[in-house]
């Protein structure tokens, strides 16, 4: 078995799966992608910062019509994780409006995307409702 390769480099798998952002050391603005300078204050120094694995849903949509190769329906959402907005699909939830709600608490979850030609495993992530979230 090869190594695990996260779907994006801001998904950190060890020791527990979590998301890691680039935080501007001058103003605290947070970015998932590499930036040449901070979009907020133009500072150029960044330090890594870890996000909590739990958050709440602040916006969602259920996509039923998408580009070729994208499995539908799926729930796309924006989450608030400790004050940082995160984009992700919701997993382990029935994709209909009766099972997703604004304000719903969720937790990071990972899944296997299967092995590649080298035997390395791709690892994706999403957020699943916390137990009892809808009751």
Partner 1 sequence: MTDRDAIYILGISMTRFGKHPDLDTFDLGAEAATAALADGGVTMADVGVLAAGNLMGQGLGFGQGLQKQIGQTGIPVYNVSNACATGATALRTAIMALKAGECEIGLAVGVEKLAGAGLLAGGNRKEGDGTWSPKGRIGAIVATDGRIGTATMPGTFAQIGMEYLHQHAYGGAPFELFAKISEKNHSHSTLNPLAAYTKAMSLEQIMGDHMVAYPNTRPMCSANCDGAAAAVVVTGERLASMSDAQQRRAVKIAASVLTSDPWTDGCQVLPDVNTLTRSAATQAYEQAGVGPNDLDLVELHDCFATAELVHYDNLQLCEPGGAVDLFESGATWRDGRIPVNVSGGLQSKGHPISATGIANVWEVCHHLRGEAGDRQIEGARTGLAHVIGLGSACGVHILQAA
Q: By the criterion CB under 8 A, which residues form the site for partner 1?
A: 5-10, 29-34, 39-40, 57-67, 69-72, 74, 76-78, 83-89, 97, 102-103, 113, 116-118, 120-122, 124-125
The nearest distance, CB 112 to partner 1, in angstroms, is: 11
Write out the DSSP string of 71-109: -SSEEEEEEEETTEEEEEEE-SS-SSTTT--TT-EEEEE
Nearer to partner 1, 5 or 49 (CB): 5
Nearer to partner 1, 15 or 69 (CB): 69
Answer whether 52's CB lies under 8 Å from 82's CB. yes
The nearest distance, CB 57 to partner 1, in angstroms, is: 8
**Considering only CA atoms, which of 130, 123, 135 is closest in space to residue 107?**
130
Nearer to partner 1, 16 or 96 (CB): 96
Answer whether 127's CB lies under 8 Å from 77's CB. yes
């Amino acid at each position: 078995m090869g190594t695990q390769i996260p779907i994006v480099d801001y998904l950190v798998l060890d020791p527990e799966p979590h998301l890691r952002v680039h935080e501007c050391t001058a103003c605290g603005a947070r970015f998932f992608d590499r930036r040449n300078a901070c979009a907020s204050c133009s500072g150029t120094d960044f330090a890594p910062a870890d996000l909590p694995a739990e958050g709440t849903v602040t916006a969602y949509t259920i996509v039923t019509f998408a580009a070729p190769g994208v499995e539908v329906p799926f729930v796309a959402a924006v989450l608030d994780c400790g004050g940082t907005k995160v984009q992700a699909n919701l997993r382990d939830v029935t994709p209909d409006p009766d099972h997703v709600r604004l304000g719903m608490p969720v937790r990071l979850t990972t899944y296997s995307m299967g092995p590649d030609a080298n035997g390395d495993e791709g690892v994706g992530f999403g957020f699943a409702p916390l137990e009892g979230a809808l009751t």
